[in-house]
Structure 1
């Protein structure tokens, strides 16, 4: 046993070093953002496409109150309840003091300015494909919004989900996987892919997940249980969503379905956001949804 002890120590130390390396927070290359300047108007379009107000404004906020991003909404899941943080430009409890790179690390890598992992309730696995210019434009727009002095509330999680370092292993398995739809795409399909897979993060809700909470890309947009425990989130691939592209685009603008029903639940604020985008963007989303592989 005494002879085996040094070897066991070496194996343990090597395993610990490998774990520490795999779970280390990764950051974006700063040179990706060098020389970029932000535009408020473009940033507002990114803001609505990314659905920032849907999570970070107060629940049921409307009108100008949707631009007060003090957080606080609760999002239940199998792992606990997550609370949306304050992302207003308040310099003390919001993100007013963040740099563009710090926002990019949060959005695209799920890493805080302090170097801690964020929980993937924040859809950074989708935002990872965001264009650097869009992040810069979004920061410019966010900086013009009203500061909210409400401190962020803590998530309601139990052990071991309180150990953020473990999220590095989750990211190693499930994050930064690139685009789902590959191939020689038209400009319209590329725009639709960008809006659906990146900024719009549609797959975060409409794609089923495995036991560890990773998106099942083999069933992309194939529908999923509602994390809140009531009902399901629908399959929006051509296997179930049989509307025409024109019907889909109209629904994304108005919330009215071809069956004379209206969008409700969490989809209602999504429609409000998408209605603020150019018609070409909604048409691109519709074209993507007609082209994505069907999931039975």
Structure 2
């Protein structure tokens, strides 16, 4: 009997070790950023498209150039607080290398090789382009440092076990596109902006009990964590807007019925209104592809 228990214990340890190895935090290759030359003007647009300020500005602030963090995100798993990502070397990311920042964005792995909680939308960002991330990193380094310490998350057991997030990533993230059909150049640009940079699915797609997005209900609208109501269904038949309607909304925050954007969309419009019309038209072209099936 003791021998059987020992064998079970050993097998369990081996399986656990294999599992931890498979789900260990992933980093970008050391030469991943080689050959890319940063463009600050494009970096500013990437910064807007990715909505960095929306989460990392101080609560109740509208200054997109200061990123002390502190905004609270209520979820079924606990309350998460956006960290300081200013250029401060002690409290922000000013002491990180370019590779460390890019790895955080595209792999969800911290400089000390820990998994980030998926409230940071790396599951969407991982579909992005390396050139855009290089431009973003360069732009982030131009922003003012802020010495506000990041606030600790309020997450209880077992959701605070970061090692388990490797399994979550394995099950619920996918670097491939959600819409995989052949697209025009404009539609493909819209897909990049919606599925990756703009991470629209993070709020507008329903989630399962583990917090993974139900991509078979892509952009169908979802419950708002910690609040009443749902985000809107963005699929073309349900939305019922024309391309011109979508562009106008993303530029002005006004719907075809002249209602104004509210809630988190106020910050989103503050970002999308900075994008060129060509990008807004690309977003519209993509959204009109998304059906209810």
TM-score, normalised with respect to structure 1: 0.96
Q: Structure 1 residues 258 and 52, CA, compared in 2 at 3 Å: closer, same or farther? A: same
Residues 81-119 of structure 1 deviation map (CA, whole Å, 9 limit, x = unaligned): 100000000000100011111011101111000001100
| Residue matched to 1:52 | 52
Q: What residue is the counterpart of 2:159 in the other structure? A: 161
Q: Distance in 1 between matches of 2:52 and 2:3?
A: 59
Q: Which residue of 1 aligns with 2:2?
A: 2
Superposition map of 1:67-146 within 5 A: 67-146=65-144
Which residue matches 1:18?
A: 18
1:266 aligns with 2:264: yes
| In structure 1, C-alpha distance between the alignment counterparts of 2:100 and 2:196, rounded to whole Å | 19
How many residue pairs are counted as aligned between the two chains? 293
1:61 — aligned with what? 61
Report the Cα offset of residue 239 of structure 1.
2.8
Q: Who is 1:252 aligned against?
A: 250
Inter-partner Cα distance in structure 2 for 1:294 and 1:9: 49
Aligned residues: CA RMSD = 1.1
Q: Which residue of 2 aligns with 1:205?
A: 203
Given that 2:127 and 2:175 are in contact with CA atoms closer than 8 Å, whether structure 1 keeps it comes out as no
Deviations 1:46-96 (A, max 9, x none): 00000000000012322xx22100000001000011000000000001000
Equivalent residue of 1:158, what SS? coil
TM-score (norm 2): 0.97
Q: Could you tell me which residue of structure 2 aligns to residue 32 of structure 1?
A: 32
Asked whether the equivalents of residues 100 and 135 of structure 1 are also in contact (C-alpha less than 8 Å), the reply is: no
Which residue in the other structure is 1:293 paired with?
291
Provide structure 2 residue ranges, at least 5 long, that are not aligned to the other structure.
none
Mapped partners of 2:46, 2:270: distance in 1? 14
Q: Is the 8 A contact 2:69 2:150 kept in 1?
A: yes
Q: How far apart in 1 are the matches of 2:52 and 2:99? A: 18
Contact 1:39 1:137 in 2 (8 A): yes
Task: Give structure 1 stretches of 5+ with no counterpart.
Answer: none
CA distance in 2, matches of 1:239, 1:150: 45
CA deviation after TM superposition for structure 1 residue 177, in Å: 4.0
Q: Is the 8 A contact 2:102 2:137 kept in 1?
A: no
